[in-house]
Amino acid sequence: MENGKNRELLTLNSGDMAMPYEWSIGLYGSRFFQEIREKRRFLGIRCPKCQKVLVPPRRICGPCFQKLDELVELVSCPVGLIKIDVEGAEYAVLEGATRVLAECRPLFYVEVGAEQNADVTAVFQRLKYRLYDGDSDDEVELTQCAFNTLAVPRESTRTNRC
Ligand SMILES: [Zn+2]
């Protein structure tokens, strides 16, 4: 073959051939991606024994060997703090995190560029967050974002010393 005398001709086919297999990510794997695509939400599955929520959902809890069937939406997500340092895209990131902001009410530590300050300040004020200078030990609430801003939900008892 390497000397070129016994080369086989390559043939091309149309791509219409029958495939003897089907790729699958399983019942829960498919549902996981369908929910993201169609409802823009994440699902996990809760283990009845250890109570852990596994993401993405699967049929069996590995440590417990329990069969799993309780799909749960990850709305009560335990997001406690989000740090944003995105060089001028702060406002876009916050707008994209609307659901997390509304449902999880995390703390934010955000680097805010001067050109984004008014828009980012407006988002936090609309969502009822208190603003603090993240580079200062002062607990003085700000009326607009600092370069490094700590944003705390108004209902929270946490301060910038948390
Ligand atoms: Zn388990």
Please give the distance, rounded to the nearest whole angstrom, from the Cα atom of residue 79 to the centre of ligand 1.
22
The full DSSP string for 60-76 is EETTTTEE--EEEETTS
Segment 81-89 mean pLDDT: 87
d(CA 124, CA 98): 11
d(CA 147, CA 150): 10
pLDDT on residue 157:
63
- The protein residues having their C-beta less than 5 angstroms from ligand 1 (an ion) are 47, 49-50, 61, 64
Please give the distance, rounded to the nearest whole angstrom, from the Cα atom of residue 51 to the centre of ligand 1.
6
State pLDDT tens for residues 92-110.
Answer: 888 877 777 777 888 899 9
State pLDDT tens for residues 25-65.
Answer: 788 888 888 887 787 777 889 999 999 888 889 999 999 99
Question: Phi then psi for 99, rounded to 5 degrees?
Answer: -70, -45
Question: What's the predicted TM-score (pTM) here?
Answer: 0.52
Segment 132-157 mean pLDDT: 90
d(CA 66, CA 55): 15
Q: Domains in the chain, start-ordered, CATH in brackets?
A: 26-73 (no CATH), 81-153 (3.30.1370)
Please give the distance, rounded to the nearest whole angstrom, from the Cα atom of residue 47 to the centre of ligand 1.
5
Please give the distance, rounded to the nearest whole angstrom, from the Cα atom of residue 66 to the centre of ligand 1.
6
What percentage of the chain exceeds 70 in pLDDT? 84
d(CA 99, CA 74): 11
pLDDT on residue 161:
42
pLDDT on residue 97:
78
